Structure 1
Amino acid sequence: MSKKTVFPYIPNSVPEIQREMLDYVGAEHVIDLYEEVPEKLRLDRDLNLPKAIRDEQGIKRHMEHLLNKNANCNEYDNYMGAGCAQHYVPAVCDEIATRGELLTCYGAETWADHGKYQIFFEYQSMIAELVQMDFTTVPCHCGGQAAATGLCMASRMTGRKRVLLPKNMNPENLSIIKNYCSSVHEENALEIDMINYDPDTGRMDIAELKDKIGDDVAAVFLENPNYLGVIESDAKEIGGIARENGAEFVVYADPITLGVLEAPGNYGATLAVGDIHSVGLHLYAGGGQAGYIASPDDMRYISEFKELVDGVTETTVPGEIAYCIVLINRTHYAMREKGKEFTGTQNNLWTAPVAVYLALMGPQGMQEIGNTIMTNAEYAAKKLSAIPGVSMQFKAPFFQEFVLNYDETGKTVEEINKMLLEEKIFGGVDLSKDFPELGQSTLYCVTETSDKESIDHLAQALARTVHA
């Protein structure tokens, strides 16, 4: 562009300042800073942007016009999950999260306290109790980030570079892991080896795990339940195999499952990771996500965490306690460029609603919602798999999500999902590209937001669709 645009709230757009910064780092143009982005992902033309709208009312009208074009989960029944499922968020979670002293324009960190230190501390305490671990930090970006950092932590602790991951894991998290673990320490990039799953049960193939495990493996990674919804009932044995060979056992667990499924810390996980979106966060077009990492109370693990952690201590006033950030010397805030991993602005805003959700639910509430989800999902699976041409892909217990196969219908998942949209239903996630070995299979997600009436409507609509 020949004309330079200066934005009032972005000082780096001032040509003189921008030039000074580029000269300092030895770059000719701003685009040079993005040299790692492959050419095929770069747009080779200017963006087709509309004319600027300079008044607030005009922007509001324009955005509402765009948003009204969307099909949303208030008007449609939603059966898509795949790592970001729809759960009910109690009103009190939003009430607390949107308080002015918590909803800040930057980071939602504890710098201006307003009780945030205690909120963060209570959040950490409840997450640690839920996964039956001793230590955790404030949230990181997402579950995929937590998984990637967990594997990097395992590599640093063991001095090994090979990690074993299940082939049936979340493809998006796998993509994050591949990218992050090859770039966070380029000279020590991790070698990723995939473990197959049993075609009948959908669980990790333990025979192949035993064949591939060795003294060069830093970690064995397991999703439980896995991406395909199957409960990994052999998790304790898998963890034993990992530890016998000196590897860390990193378990990815969805917090919403832990009211009814065993906690990772109780079946041998040395690191528990996951995403907290299911306990108090809305979908937010995929933005309502944040990751957790938890470990035993052992400085060998604790010193490897990259996020800040809030603690509690006594004060000079008898009986009074104070909340504060502790162990900051292990982070890049203290170590700067010598830090093991970078910690920037994280998803700390989500700490408050998740803390409220967990406190509101308590152990009994978590058990009740877990039972409700399993009951709803089991009912849906039986209703849908009874439709001629539709069958369950795996013969194993599942939580919330299950795989249906459409091969005998003669229709593709894409075709069926398009027809379900006409019934105001978001069908299951199409697995045919990421898991071609499963044929025309789809991943359905059924949570507490689906009642019997909506499930029956889905069954009737799917029956009409596959036989249309």
Structure 2
Amino acid sequence: MEKSFVHPYMPNSVPEIRQQLLDELGVKDVKEIYGSIIPEELLYKERLDLPEPIRSEYELKRHMTGLLNKNISTEEYTSFLGAGCYKHQVPAVCDEINMRGEFLTAYCGDTYSDHGKMQAIFEYASMMGELLDADVVSYTTYDAGQSVCSAFRMAVRLQDSSGKNGEKEKNVILVPDTMNPEIYSQTVSYCRNVSEIVKAGHDEESGLMDLKELEGRLKEGNVAAVFYENPSYLGFFETQAEEIARLAHRYGAVCIAQPQVSALGIMESPMNLGADIVCGDIQPLGMHMQYGGGQAGFIASHQKLEYMEQFPTYMYGIAKTDKEDTYGWGRAMNYRCSHGSREKANEYFGTETGLWGITAGVYLASMGPQGMYELGEAIIQNLKYLTVRLNEIEGVRANPFGGSNFQEVLVDFSETGKSVADINKKLLEYGIFGGKDVSREFPWLGVCGLYCVSELTTQAQMDALIDAIRQIAAGKSDVSDKDSQVSKEVQAWDM
């Protein structure tokens, strides 16, 4: 890009403004700023091959709309994809409050000026506490993955064992080998300097954690925490939750659980089954499916000071004021956070997901306990119907582990002679996004897809899926030429 070129999107490309900035910094050229930081051999010296800028706002909007129109949304196609991002009904009030100017920012706000925002976060945390039967719920994390990572690091700090005085250092985190592979990858990366993430095996018949193997590993004396998902990434309920917590505590380990929040209206909270720390995702609570955004996580525990001191994020509480009978909102134990202690804090955290916490609070307030119960019941009923119908198809076996599931179910296509990728590609011709292909994540499962439903999934949509899979399995197709042409416009990807 020539020095004289003024880019319409970049105010600092105006020569006069650029020179003012350089003068203020006391340098003659931009290269002087980076010279002491980036080695000369790494600097790109050629002209960037960028397209010409679109100068008209209308033309730019039309260009971007054209790009976005290449996508096919779950409003156009029926989706049976889940695996961490779910399509639920979002009450209109969630979007309305989410877009209000008082809340619409990535900044957390200040205790002296943003009491409305502070109260909204406090109310969210209070309702999450009721849902989880937890005493303490933190400010939101980036997503479920970060909440799990932070919970793992909390557990290691709680052990307060450095191998001194002959003690064996407790820094191993035991996780199920059926754990969400993306979150597992996050934990390995995020926790590598403080802990070792070790997979524990599962029972081949039920898919549940193998308790004998779990206890054997706990006896080694170096386990800081035991982690489980409920329901699991593969959809089945971990019915041994109480026993897992009991074993963890017997050998001095912390018990960490990740529940699916949509199930908590019908499922006992892990906090009542012995879990010490509960963490997870709040995307199902009023957040639309999005590509990259619309995710936030939570961390919760009982009201024990030693646990509260290890939380990495803000916690908001009611604060007294200098006026009688009035109160405000303040940050509790702020010394724990990177905001309060900078580099000496437990770990770094950001505040950009606070808006989603407020949105989740609005969702919980609009649903209430009865609404959350009805949500769970609707999902269970839809999944049961889909499972029964899938098992009617020759060569298809749904729920191979045979236990109780929530929202998602494994579907084994091994006997059809077709791969999950091939089946999903054909389903696009029917206007259907098939379940996630988990055969590469878990080769021992064979040819399996993970199918998801929600309260929005209709019987007609499930029947259409059954008919489509039956025809695909039999090598037939009744798709019209028009529908087939539409499917060819869908971007292909590995599901």
Residue 294 of structure 1 and its aligned partner are, at CA, apart by: 0.4
Task: Give the secondary-structure state (helix, strand or coil) at the position aligned to 2:271.
Answer: helix
Q: Which residue of 1 aligns with 2:362?
A: 356
How far apart, CA to CA, are the structure 2 residues paired with 1:79 and 1:109?
38
Q: 1:358 to 1:204 in 2, by over 3 A?
A: same
How far apart, CA to CA, are the structure 1 residues paired with 2:18 and 2:234?
45
Alignment of 1:197-346 (within 5 A): 197-214=202-219, 215-346=221-352
How far apart, CA to CA, are the structure 2 residues paired with 1:460 and 1:411?
16
Q: Which residue of 1 aligns with 2:153?
A: 152
Alignment length, in residue pairs? Answer: 450
How far apart, CA to CA, are the structure 2 residues paired with 1:204 and 1:9?
58
Task: Give the secondary-structure state (helix, strand or coil) at the position aligned to 2:291.
Answer: helix
Q: Over residues 17-74 of structure 1, what are the superposed CA-to-partner deviations in whole Å (9 max), with x where a residue is unaligned?
A: 96566467x5436969xxxxxxxxxx9x998753322332222111110111111100
Q: Name which of 178, 181, 197 aligns with 2:188.
A: 178
Residue 169 of structure 1 and its aligned partner are, at CA, apart by: 0.7
How far apart, CA to CA, are the structure 2 residues paired with 1:18 and 1:265?
55
Q: Over residues 168-224 of structure 1, what are the superposed CA-to-partner deviations in whole Å (9 max), with x where a residue is unaligned?
A: 010110111011002xxx3xx311110112222121111211111132100001011
Q: Which amino acid aligns with 2:11?
A: P
1:50 lines up with 2:61 in the alignment: no
Q: Which amino acid aligns with 2:372?
A: M
How far apart, CA to CA, are the structure 1 residues paired with 2:138 and 2:34?
35
Task: Give the secondary-structure state (helix, strand or coil) at the position aligned to 1:115.
Answer: helix
Work out whether residues 314 and 321 of structure 1, in 8 Å CA contact, stay in contact via their aligned partners in 2.
yes
How far apart, CA to CA, are the structure 2 residues paired with 1:12 and 1:268?
61
Residue 385 of structure 1 and its aligned partner are, at CA, apart by: 1.7
Q: Any unmatched runs of 5+ in structure 1?
A: 33-42
How far apart, CA to CA, are the structure 2 residues paired with 1:47 and 1:369?
52
Q: Which amino acid aligns with 1:327?
A: M
Q: 1:3 to 1:417 in 2, by over 3 A?
A: farther
Q: Name which of 433, 449, 453 aligns with 1:426.
A: 433
Q: Which amino acid aligns with 1:314?
A: K
Task: Give the secondary-structure state (helix, strand or coil) at the position aligned to 2:11.
Answer: coil
TM-score norm. by structure 2 comes to: 0.86
Alignment of 1:405-420 (within 5 A): 405-420=412-427
How far apart, CA to CA, are the structure 2 residues paired with 1:231 and 1:12?
60
How far apart, CA to CA, are the structure 1 residues paired with 2:342 and 2:225?
27
How far apart, CA to CA, are the structure 1 residues paired with 2:296 and 2:33?
32
Q: Which residue of 2 aligns with 1:442?
A: 449
Task: Give the secondary-structure state (helix, strand or coil) at the position aligned to 1:278.
Answer: coil
Q: Which residue of 1 aligns with 2:39?
A: 28
Q: Which residue of 1 aligns with 2:402?
A: 395
Higher gyration radius (CA): 2
How far apart, CA to CA, are the structure 2 residues paired with 1:207 and 1:284?
41
Between stretches 254-263 and 339-348, larger displacement belongs to 339-348
Q: Over residues 357-398 of structure 1, what are the superposed CA-to-partner deviations in whole Å (9 max), with x where a residue is unaligned?
A: 001111111001000000001111111121100002211101
Between stretches 147-156 and 392-401, larger displacement belongs to 392-401
How far apart, CA to CA, are the structure 2 residues paired with 1:302 and 1:381?
42
Q: Percent identity of the aligned residues? A: 40
How far apart, CA to CA, are the structure 1 residues paired with 2:88 and 2:432?
16
Work out whether residues 252 and 274 of structure 1, in 8 Å CA contact, stay in contact via their aligned partners in 2.
yes
Residue 451 of structure 1 and its aligned partner are, at CA, apart by: 1.2
Between stretches 141-150 and 324-333, larger displacement belongs to 324-333
TM-score norm. by structure 1 comes to: 0.90
Q: Over residues 98-146 of structure 1, what are the superposed CA-to-partner deviations in whole Å (9 max), with x where a residue is unaligned?
A: 1122112x43545652611110000111111111111111101000000
Q: 1:286 to 1:87 in 2, by over 3 A?
A: farther
Work out whether residues 22 and 29 of structure 1, in 8 Å CA contact, stay in contact via their aligned partners in 2.
no
How far apart, CA to CA, are the structure 2 residues paired with 1:293 and 1:150?
7
Work out whether residues 313 and 349 of structure 2, in 8 Å CA contact, stay in contact via their aligned partners in 1.
yes
Work out whether residues 404 and 443 of structure 1, in 8 Å CA contact, stay in contact via their aligned partners in 2.
yes
Residue 406 of structure 1 and its aligned partner are, at CA, apart by: 0.2
Work out whether residues 22 and 30 of structure 1, in 8 Å CA contact, stay in contact via their aligned partners in 2.
no
Q: Over residues 402-457 of structure 1, what are the superposed CA-to-partner deviations in whole Å (9 max), with x where a residue is unaligned?
A: 10000000000000000101111010000111001111100000111101111111
Q: Which residue of 2 aligns with 1:107?
A: 107
Q: Name which of 385, 390, 398 aligns with 1:379.
A: 385
Q: Which amino acid aligns with 1:155?
A: V
Residue 299 of structure 1 and its aligned partner are, at CA, apart by: 1.3
Q: Any unmatched runs of 5+ in structure 2?
A: 162-169, 476-495
Q: 1:381 to 1:326 in 2, by over 3 A?
A: same
Task: Give the secondary-structure state (helix, strand or coil) at the position aligned to 1:284.
Answer: coil
Work out whether residues 117 and 323 of structure 1, in 8 Å CA contact, stay in contact via their aligned partners in 2.
yes
Work out whether residues 166 and 194 of structure 1, in 8 Å CA contact, stay in contact via their aligned partners in 2.
yes
Q: Which amino acid aligns with 2:322?
A: T
